[in-house]
Amino acid sequence: MTSRLKTFGLIALIGFIAGILVQVTATYIIPWLADVLPSLAAISSFLIAGLAGAILTVAGVCIWAYATGKRNSY
């Protein structure tokens, strides 16, 4: 039972960190990119936020897969 609670806690912590990263991306990085690349400003911020979320999710799954893969292979 405690390993299950540890897993849930780790997932909650990762989700919390991902939320912080998405907020920083939406607040600082996306406006900076819109200033640097004016054509990017024409794209809806929802699409940009979705792309950022997709990239963070794939990165998180890759980190999880590499961290837990082949642990008990003989």
The Cα 64–Cα 10 span in angstroms is 11
CB 22 within 8 A of CB 51: no
For residue range 20-65, what is the model confidence (pLDDT) as tens digits? 887 887 788 777 777 777 766 666 667 777 777 788 888 888 888 8
Rounded to two decimals, what is the model's pTM?
Answer: 0.50
- Report the pLDDT value the prediction gives residue 28, as an integer from 0 to 100: 83
Domain map (residue ranges) of the chain: 2-66
Given a cut of 60, is residue 73 above it in pLDDT? no
The Cα 35–Cα 28 span in angstroms is 11
- Report the pLDDT value the prediction gives residue 29, as an integer from 0 to 100: 76
The Cα 6–Cα 8 span in angstroms is 5
